[in-house]
Amino acid sequence: MTNNTHHTHEPLIQVSKRDDMTWYGSWAVRAIAIVLALAVCGIVTVLLTGLDPISVYVSMFEGNFGTSRRLWAMLKELSLLLCVSLAVTPAFKMKFWNIGAEGQTLVGALACSACMILLSGKIPSALLIPVMLVASVVAALVWAVVPAYFKAKFGTNETLFTLMMNYIAMQLVSFCIVFWENPKNSNTVGVINSDSMLGWLPSVGGQKYAMAVIVVALLTVIMYIYLRYSKQGYEISVVGESQNTARYVGINVKKVIIRTMAISGALCGVAGFLIVSGVDHSITTSSAGGMGFTAIMVSWLAKFNPLFMVLTSLLIVFLECGAGQIATAFDLNHSVADILTGIILFFIIGSEFFIGYKIRFRTKKKEA
């Protein structure tokens, strides 16, 4: 009799966490996601433009690898994005939500251009590039340590703080552009030292972007070793996982927060330096180009593993360069390319859900 009062309320879909997926299982899920994404993109392309989707994909590839010039342009974008991604990684691994990489990079770029403009010809040219690098690193480091200090000392919200620092950095650049205008009234800085090429990163093997690529490749390996094998990297993991545990084993949490953000900022400074000295030879308010935010996605998608970040940043850059190519090759509005990029990212980010969670649908049970 009492059995009648037994009710079960099983929901239609049950989502539960899982952490038992093998590495090949999770890569299989990701591969399926990409295939699905390409299929959906194909359908959307046909519906919107009537173009043959295969030729669109081919054009995407060509946009990245078609010519040596395109390849190097892609590598340049890749190395810059990867550099900023490496910068945000230690902070995010520590669960310090640094969304100020944009501003930190910009301030680094600003310091770099300031040195280029103000010091060229006044100090030996062999010294100029090291001075530019140090200035960029120090400026970005300060930009990152300020919010870290306030977080450690007063528990301020780092997300808001770093975000607002972005705007200050941008205004600072606008302000400086007024003084450095070239030509007058153009409201831009123009190419700095376009004749003397002072403070420009030298080209390697005839490739002007090669130096940036080499630097970032080295940084990737160093960051991987730092996070995986160094004591400081270990402390970052512990603080990120549980501040209580960190305190329990005697880690000075405040010190780790500030130190890690200093590293994060310094790397943003390197990125700023590479942008100005190695690539643009100029500065605008959009020199960082939103990379400070894209980098967060690169870092998360790679689960904070610097080696995987090569792949995830390649994916993002590939989509961007490819999108640009589609737009020009088929004379399309750039928005179509953006839609395709959006669909692909949606599937890839969405696949992470299926790797982390199990989905079970309600199975019909016979009533007893």
Partner 1 sequence: MSTNAAIELRNITKTFGSTVANKDVCLTANKGKILSVLGENGSGKTTLMNMISGIYYPDSGQIFIDGEEVVIRSPKDAFDYKIGMIHQHFKLVDVFSAAQNIVLGLEDDQGFDMKKYSKRISEISEQYGFDIDPGKKIYEMSVSEKQTVEIVKVLFRGADILILDEPTAVLTPQETQKLFAVLRRMRDAGKAIIIITHKLHEVLSLSDRVSVLRKGEYVGTIATADANETILTEMMVGKKVSLNIHRDEPKGMQERLVVSSINCINREGSTVLNDISFCAYSGEILGIAGIAGSGQRELLESIAGLQKLLDGSITYNDPKTGEAEDLRNKTPREIRDMGVRLSFVPEDRLGMGLVGNMDIVDNMMLRSYRKGKSMFVRRKEPKNLAEEIIERLGVVTPDSSTPVRRLSGGNVQKVLVGREISSSPTVLMAAYPVRGLDINSSYTIYNLLNEQKKKGVAVIFVGEDLDVLLELCDRIMVLSGGSVSGIVDARTATKEQIGLLMTKSREVHHD
User: Site residues (CB under 8 A) for partner 1?
Assistant: 2-3, 5-7, 9, 19-20, 229-232, 234, 237-238, 241-242, 244-245, 247-252
Nearest to 108 by CA among 161, 172, 175: 172
Q: Can you read off the two tokens belonging to residue 169?
A: 């950095």
* d(C-alpha 340, C-alpha 336), whole Å: 6
- By beta-carbon proximity to partner 1, the closer residue of 49 and 243 is 243
CB of 249 to partner 1, least distance (A): 5
CB of 216 to partner 1, least distance (A): 22
* d(C-alpha 236, C-alpha 257), whole Å: 8
CB of 248 to partner 1, least distance (A): 5
Q: Are 256 and 263 in contact (CB under 8 A)?
A: no
Instruction: Report phi then psi at 357, rounded to 5.
Output: -130, 150
- By beta-carbon proximity to partner 1, the closer residue of 182 and 252 is 252
* d(C-alpha 52, C-alpha 329), whole Å: 13
The residue type at 91: A
Q: Are 81 and 109 in contact (CB under 8 A)?
A: no
CB of 143 to partner 1, least distance (A): 26
Which of the 8 DSSP states describes residue 17?
Answer: E
- By beta-carbon proximity to partner 1, the closer residue of 243 and 284 is 243
CB of 234 to partner 1, least distance (A): 5
| Residue 260 C-alpha from the chain's centroid | 17
Q: Are 306 and 227 in contact (CB under 8 A)?
A: yes
- By beta-carbon proximity to partner 1, the closer residue of 186 and 232 is 232
- By beta-carbon proximity to partner 1, the closer residue of 209 and 226 is 226
The 10 Å Cβ neighbour count of residue 228 is 13
- By beta-carbon proximity to partner 1, the closer residue of 102 and 235 is 235
CB of 159 to partner 1, least distance (A): 20
